[in-house]
Amino acid sequence: MSVTPVLEMKNITKEFPGVKALDNVSLQIFAGEVMALLGENGAGKSTLMKILSGVYTKDSGEIYYKNIPLNVKDPKDAQNKGIAIIHQELNLVPELTVGENIYLGREPVNIYGRIKYREMYDQSAKYLEMLGEGRMSPSAKVSSLSVGQAQIVEIAKALSMDARVIIMDEPTDSLTDVETENLYQVIRELKQQGKALVYISHKLSEVFDICDRATVLRDGTFVDMKPVGELTEESIIQLMVGRPLYERYPKSKGECGEKVFEVSGLTNHKITDVSFSVRRGEVLGIAGLMGSGRSEVAKSIFGAMALTKGTVTIDGEEIKISHPSSAIAKGISYVSEDRKQLGLILDMSVKENITLPALKTFQKFFRFISVDEEIKTSEHYIEKMSIKTTGPMQKVVNLSGGNQQKVAIGKGLVTSPKVVILDEPTRGVDVGAKKEIYDLINELKENGLAIILISSEMPEVMGMSDRIIVMSAGCVAGEVSRADATQEKIMTLAMKNLTKSAV
């Protein structure tokens, strides 16, 4: 373990209109180590790393590489100086192939300046293989990939740069457990090679799995830097939030009412014969591994994916849903797991994003919503979920990742649905804000909504659901009550059809 940092950021300050994102922040990064960079949503983690990787310029402060002042002009310059970053928001060009994305702007060319595709694809395949994705074709279009696969391509791209400093901003956000384990393996190898890594994550267990030290930011200021061995989840939360968090999964007093929502025999190319019902004031959890069909069930109900068979019933009446707008009109709302592609329009304001779905429903009745009312509505959600923004008119693209997620939830609730499907609602959300979202779920429950909660975080499904169904290979593998739910029971069900088909 070396004592002089490979890279040091000193007294960095950065202001955006109306926000001081970073105030005198310092960070040290060491060779052969992983430095966790922690803090609540909007604490300034991504901004600090965007400065290091040349995306933003700092207002003041210094950067040193092995004690020599380092000036990073732009992303290309950062790359040339051995700094690679895997951004929190995916940065790939969907129309290009996997290999073209990995080598974008650095394509190997022959003496005539023609791209050497064979070489580019062979090299790409090597990095994909390292990440356990040997089956992904380097010549496939990125637009055909799932979010998790696109994330892997981003990681492969950073690896291919052979950088000295590698920054990972919530890299496992949409990875499966197996993919995460593969990434850990790669990180361990990079450490062995003496690389210095920065790892940003809201999954605190990852800090203990893979990181050596942790730097904590709060509200754009430096709080502390400590070896991970001296930290516990509780002490990290205390440093991040400034106070201990007593109750991670608040209990609701709400009682479940009568059955309001039912699906029966839902079938298409991804799911088979999925049936379940949800009562008023009930939270039905859907657990399962990534790729088990959970989101496909949600999309099929919401009219974003076609069904070949099956019925959807609300309040005893069978309904036909051909498009998300008809789902919304019938009282069903869906907060997508992928806030970037399906959820938000990044270039629009917080207000426009939150009120957009409601406008659509109201337009049908020639109703008119005043701008005042729109602002009031968006302010309600901003306050309710403590969305960190300069106000309703701020563009969503300028919010931190976790705060974008909260806007997506507001958007899902504004249509006053009877049934709401929350797909990974706390992805990228910090521990304190998670609790705010859970409080909100409980409030919705007490107001009699039927809630479907899809989550990869086992403690979250177990802590918040009244009942849990577990999916495996596109089918419902079983159901457990809140009282009976254990991690083992859920995992066994989640693996059920997989082991059967493997035999």
Chain residues binding ligand ATP by CB under 6 A are 16, 19, 21, 39, 41-47, 88, 388, 398-403
At closest approach, how far in Å is the CB of 45 from Mg ion?
A: 5
Pair 25, 11: CB distance under 8 Å? yes
At closest approach, how far in Å is the CB of 23 from ligand ATP?
A: 11
Name which of Mg ion, ligand ATP, none residue 47 binds, using a CB cut-off of 5 to 8 Å depending on partner kind: ligand ATP
Name which of Mg ion, ligand ATP, none residue 411 binds, using a CB cut-off of 5 to 8 Å depending on partner kind: none
Closer residue to Mg ion, CB minimum distance, 282 or 430: 430
Residues 6+ positions from 171 with CB-CB distance below 8 Å:
86, 151, 154, 155, 183, 199, 201
Closer residue to ligand ATP, CB minimum distance, 45 or 195: 45
Q: Does 401 bind Mg ion (CB under 5 A)?
A: yes
Pair 451, 445: CB distance under 8 Å? yes
Closer residue to Mg ion, CB minimum distance, 49 or 271: 49
Closer residue to ligand ATP, CB minimum distance, 285 or 428: 428
Closer residue to ligand ATP, CB minimum distance, 401 or 463: 401
What are the strands of the beta sheet with 60-65, ordered from one edge? 19-29, 7-16, 60-65, 68-69
Neighbours of 289 (CB within 10 A): 19
Identify which range of 80-88, 245-253, 295-303, 432-440 contacts Mg ion by CB under 5 A. 80-88
Pair 439, 384: CB distance under 8 Å? no
Identify which range of 95-103, 284-292, 365-373, 393-401 contacts Mg ion by CB under 5 A. 393-401
At closest approach, how far in Å is the CB of 400 from Mg ion?
A: 5
Residues 6+ positions from 200 with CB-CB distance below 8 Å:
36, 37, 38, 45, 46, 49, 88, 167, 168, 169, 170
Closer residue to ligand ATP, CB minimum distance, 149 or 405: 405
In degrees and rounded to multiples of 5, residue 415 shows phi and psi of -85, 10
At closest approach, how far in Å is the CB of 116 from ligand ATP?
A: 37
At closest approach, how far in Å is the CB of 185 from ligand ATP?
A: 25
Q: Does 46 bind Mg ion (CB under 5 A)?
A: yes
Dist CA 8 CA 52 (whole Å): 10
Pair 172, 203: CB distance under 8 Å? yes
At closest approach, how far in Å is the CB of 170 from ligand ATP?
A: 7
At residue 43, the 3 state secondary structure works out as: coil
Task: Give the total of residues touching Mg ion (CB under 5 A).
Answer: 4
Pair 197, 187: CB distance under 8 Å? yes
Identify which range of 40-48, 71-79, 322-330, 369-377 contacts Mg ion by CB under 5 A. 40-48
Q: Which residue has the tokens 């939830």?
A: 409
At closest approach, how far in Å is the CB of 343 from ligand ATP?
A: 15
Q: Secondary structure of 70-94 in the HEC alphabet?
A: CCCCCHHHHHHCCEEEECCCCCCCC
Residues that bind Mg ion (CB under 5 A): 46, 88, 400-401
